[in-house]
Amino acid sequence: MPLKAGPGGASADVPGGIAGVAAAEAQQRQQRVRAAQTLFTSGSRALADKSYGEAMDYFKAAFETIPAVPAVADQREIFFQRYQESAFQYAVLLADEARWEESEKTLTDVIALAEAGRIEDDRVDRRVRTMLEDLRNHDDRYNMATTPQHLRNVNLVESKLILAMGYLELGDYDRAERSYNEVLAADPFNTAARRGLENVERHRMNYFDTALDHTRARKIAEVMAAWETPVPPLLLGDDAVINADGVTDGGSTRIEQKMKEIIIPSLEFSGAALEDVVEFLSQKSQELDASETDPRKRGVNIVIDSSGMGEGSNPAQAPLSVRLSNVPLGVALKYVAQQVGMAYRIDNVAVSVVSPAAAGGGGLMTRRFVVPPGFLSGGGGGGGDAAPADPFATPAADAGGGALVERVTAEGFLQNRGVEFGEGASATYISATSTLIVRNTPDQISMIEYIIQSARDSGPKLVQIHVKMVSVESEGLRQAGLDWLLGQANFGSSPRAFFGGGTSGNADIPVSGMNFPFNGPAGPIGTYPVTAGLRTGDLGGTDGIDNVINRSSAASGNMQAPGVFSVAGVFTDPQFQVVLRALSQMKGTDLLSDAHVLVKSGNVASIEQVREFIYPTEYDPPEIPNSLGIVTIGNTQIIGDVPPEFPATPATPTAFETRKVGKSIEVEPTVSSDNQTVSLNVLLDFSEFSGFINYGTPILNTNFMVNGNPSVVTPNEILMPVFDAIKETTNVSVWDGQTVAIGGFHGESVTDSEDKIPYIGDLPVLGRAFRSSTSQSTKRALTIFVTVRLVDPGGNPIHLPLEEEEPELMTQSVPAPLGGIPAGPPPGMVYPAK
């Protein structure tokens, strides 16, 4: 502020003239010193907190504020030292963050402030000058290519790698993979992330390997479960379906049956209280219940419910007089309740004596229903556009234009269809699972069940058809007999009379050394057969088609039963050999085939699991040269010997056919109007290839082999296939969800043979050595089942099975949660029992 001269040369504004100016200047300097000290104190606190940028600003302001006078020179020196220390630390921090320009400017400001403040060069920290020089010269200690974004990516990569490892340890492989992918998005060449993804896939492979074992075990269990024979439903007098274990499909049906079957022999009371009579009936029901073997399940629980009888009334103490004999328990309880103006109601686990009003409706109960798609879409009223798929969805706040669509609640939807909701009753719809949860009285629940069932009946339906074939086959063979060979010898010492074994005669298998264990140079010991005509092995049964399939020729295939023990007389006179031939075989073949198909009503569906089998049906005959042994000389032909070897062309196939071998099913279902019965047209064809029958005969040479058999020029095979087929065409009607047997057969074939040598075989003990017995049996049982289920397009059954009895906590009359929404997670969908 300029000073104004006054009289005597003194300042007009500052009293005291020059002295006053000096005093004001001194006062101003003192204020600056105090302000600088305050800034220094703030800078010291920031430096202690390692806020180097903030401390640097405070110390610089303090240095610039304090006057440059000798009185405070020491303080000014301290301010500068603190400033350059905080500035150096701040520059290091900026360099670590790759903010190179800011770091260099911070150090440059220190040098500039020292020069402007007349600080000696040796008072400037050497680290400041060295770092500034290194930054300007791009020293190797500083990677100038580093950017702040790179450092942020480094921090992101480190945090994501740690997070991914945590997810991996928790088994959350999807989130772990996502974290590793985020690392690769920031650092495309990060090897740790790639290794982490590899580790994730290894963990998934371990899980999938376990899942494979589980799926395989489950599928095998399903195959084993398919062997279970279905149990037909039993019908009671009231047409109530029960299972084979006697448990009814309805919760209160069993108690109602007991109320009819238990007979009270005598009931006589005079002026007795209601609770005493009820206690007597409950005890009698336990004593007289013969339908239960478990003592804990005998009898009927009877309770008195006084709700609805008015305040101050105690029906349990109401007096009554009754006299009855030989009446059912239900009739006795009915007369007892009428005496006191009450009635009884049968619940799932007990019989309640209640007021007449409560007997009709009952207490509140909670039921869960899976509704078909579109069941609630028609509940909205109003004009304009159609309502969305979820009728209970909250409308958008910004929806405008056109007519407003009224949103109905679940209760409103049901009330429009005649369902009443009293106190405590509620209805909630969960759109995510198409589930309707209702809490209401039993009669209203029954009405809701009818509404839902009507919606299922009127909606689109699919027919799920299971066709199962179970075939069990058993083959058994038992053979036993002795095979004798007896050599030639004379009677006693007479040289004129001899005896010995016989000949093979018409036996199918001649005597051969391969069928006897003891053999000499001329053949088997004993040589001459005694029991060659007794049948064993293949000779014991009939020569059916199974015996000629896959034979090389029609004549081959006869074999004797194996020998298990033998005795031979080599140096005896005569020589003999006996072989015990015995065989016991059992063979079982089990076949299970279960085919599934889903089809609309009135459409034809087919499923095939077949192979195309191509086989010949026609052959050209074999060709043999007509000029064998004929030598042509000029115009003359001379007939000579037939050569030992000659060419021949076997039979050649010329025409082929294709047949599908496997399982083929064709069904056409028709659903009845009541949606309870399905009429089926079923065409089944289960065929398999059994083998070939060779109708050809080998073409032989005129020369013979070492064993005496003629050599074969060509086998000349004429092969024709044999198929084992099971076919059925039928039309049946099946109830929904039921399994019926639509066909099958049971058969057994037994072949027994008893062969013996006449007279000798009839001897009491010795005759057993000259007899053979064979028993061959084949049993087969085949049954074809069909199961029909009606389902909606979502795969849910049209007729849901009745739910199991709910726990006690679910059936208690507790207040419903706010808004009618049950606490806890939404219930799962109800699926049919398998």
Region 433-445: mean pLDDT is: 82
Q: Which two tokens stand for residue 303?
A: 């309770």
Residue 193 lies in a domain: yes
Answer with the one of 115, 146, 177 that is the final residue of a domain. 146
Report the residue count for the chain. Answer: 834
Nearest in space to 652 (alpha carbons), one of 720, 717, 715, 714: 717
Residue 250 lies in a domain: yes
Answer with the one of 225, 252, 281 that is the final residue of a domain. 225
- Same domain as 158, residue 142: no
Pairing of strands 319-328, 302-304: unpaired
- Same domain as 142, residue 11: yes
- Same domain as 73, residue 85: yes
Quickly state the pLDDT bin for 668 (edges 50, 70, 90). very high
β-partners of residue 727 are: 685
- Same domain as 260, residue 305: yes
CA dist., res. 370 & res. 372, Å (int): 7
Of residues 812 and 413, more confidence is placed in: 413
Q: What are the DSSP E strand ranges found in 672-738?
A: 677-694, 699-704, 710-714, 719-735
When the pLDDT of each residue in the chain is averaged and rounded to a whole number, the result is 78
In the predicted structure, residue 194 carries a pLDDT above the cut 90: yes
Residue 632: what pLDDT? 58
Q: What is the CATH number of the domain that holds 195?
A: 1.25.40
For residue 121, the 8-state DSSP code is G
Q: What are the DSSP E strand ranges found in 601-718?
A: 605-620, 630-633, 636-639, 652-671, 677-694, 699-704, 710-714
Q: Name the amino acid, one letter, at 814.
A: V
In the predicted structure, residue 387 carries a pLDDT above the cut 60: no
- Same domain as 330, residue 310: yes
- Same domain as 135, residue 113: yes
Instruction: Quick: pLDDT tens for 244-296.
Output: 333 334 446 678 788 888 999 998 988 888 889 999 998 988 888 888 888 88
- With a CB cutoff of 8 Å and minimum separation 6, the contacts of 323 are 267, 268, 269
Residue 658 lies in a domain: no
Phi/psi of residue 63, nearest 5 degrees:
-65, -40
810 near 439, Cβ under 8 Å? no
- Same domain as 178, residue 269: no
- Same domain as 188, residue 82: no
Its pTM surpasses 0.85: no
Region 714-718: mean pLDDT is: 87
Of residues 26 and 572, more confidence is placed in: 572
Quickly state the pLDDT bin for 663 (edges 50, 70, 90). confident
Of residues 772 and 442, more confidence is placed in: 772
Residue 246 φ/ψ region, left for φ over 0, alpha for ψ in the -120 to 50 degree band, beta for the rest: left
CA dist., res. 93 & res. 97, Å (int): 6
Residue 85 lies in a domain: yes
In the predicted structure, residue 750 carries a pLDDT above the cut 80: yes
What is the extent of the structural domain holding 218?
149-225
Answer with the one of 146, 181, 214 that is the final residue of a domain. 146
Q: What is the CATH number of the domain that holds 281?
A: 3.55.50.10
The lowest-confidence range among 83-92, 119-128, 326-335 is 119-128
Region 390-415: mean pLDDT is: 60
Quickly state the pLDDT bin for 642 (edges 50, 70, 90). low
CA dist., res. 421 & res. 439, Å (int): 9
Of residues 2 and 654, more confidence is placed in: 654
Burial class, 689, CB count within 10 angstroms (exposed 0-12 / middle 13-18 / buried 19+): middle
Residue 145: what pLDDT? 73
Quickly state the pLDDT bin for 178 (edges 50, 70, 90). very high
Quickly state the pLDDT bin for 674 (edges 50, 70, 90). confident
Residue 228: what pLDDT? 82
Q: What radius of gyration, in Å, describes the C-alpha atoms of the chain?
A: 53
Region 807-828: mean pLDDT is: 37
In the predicted structure, residue 809 carries a pLDDT above the cut 50: no
Residue 172: what pLDDT? 93
Region 363-371: mean pLDDT is: 76
β-partners of residue 743 are: 784
Residue 75 lies in a domain: yes
Of residues 77 and 814, more confidence is placed in: 77
- Same domain as 167, residue 186: yes
What's the number of domains the chain is made of?
5
Residue 468 lies in a domain: no
Most confident segment among 32-36, 116-120, 366-370, 677-681: 677-681
In the predicted structure, residue 180 carries a pLDDT above the cut 80: yes
Nearest in space to 334 (alpha carbons), one of 256, 219, 429: 256
Quickly state the pLDDT bin for 816 (edges 50, 70, 90). very low
In the predicted structure, residue 640 carries a pLDDT above the cut 90: no
Residue 258 φ/ψ region, left for φ over 0, alpha for ψ in the -120 to 50 degree band, beta for the rest: alpha
Quickly state the pLDDT bin for 346 (edges 50, 70, 90). confident
Instruction: Quick: pLDDT tens for 48-74.
Output: 888 888 888 888 888 778 877 777 777
The lowest-confidence range among 219-233, 442-456, 800-814 is 800-814
DSSP letter string over 82-113? HHHHHHHHHHHHHHHTT-HHHHHHHHHHHHHH
Q: Which two tokens stand for residue 299?
A: 């009898």
For residue 573, the 8-state DSSP code is S
Of residues 134 and 273, more confidence is placed in: 273
DSSP letter string over 285-301? HHHH--S-SSGGG-S--
- Same domain as 12, residue 123: yes
Quickly state the pLDDT bin for 358 (edges 50, 70, 90). low
Instruction: Quick: pLDDT tens for 717-739.
Output: 899 999 988 888 999 999 988 88
- Same domain as 156, residue 109: no
724 near 613, Cβ under 8 Å? no
Residue 826: what pLDDT? 37
Quickly state the pLDDT bin for 707 (edges 50, 70, 90). low
Region 441-449: mean pLDDT is: 81
Nearest in space to 475 (alpha carbons), one of 544, 564, 535: 544
Query: Residues 472, 478, 480, CA angle at the centre, nearest 5°?
Result: 175
CA dist., res. 255 & res. 230, Å (int): 27
Residue 15: what pLDDT? 54
Residue 216 lies in a domain: yes
Percent of the chain with pLDDT over 70: 78
Quickly state the pLDDT bin for 821 (edges 50, 70, 90). very low
Instruction: Quick: pLDDT tens for 481-527.
Output: 888 888 888 887 777 888 888 887 666 567 777 888 888 887 888 88
Residue 589 lies in a domain: no
CA dist., res. 218 & res. 209, Å (int): 14
Instruction: Quick: pLDDT tens for 588-629.
Output: 888 888 888 899 988 999 888 889 999 999 999 988 776 655
Percent of the chain with pLDDT over 90: 13
- Same domain as 11, residue 113: yes
Q: How far is CA 686 from CA 235, 498, 594, 605, 661, in A?
A: 34, 64, 12, 16, 8
Q: Name the amino acid, one letter, at 761.
A: G
Q: What are the DSSP E strand ranges found in 204-346?
A: 234-235, 241-242, 263-273, 302-304, 319-328, 343-346
Quickly state the pLDDT bin for 533 (edges 50, 70, 90). confident
Instruction: Quick: pLDDT tens for 223-249.
Output: 888 888 777 665 444 434 444 333 334
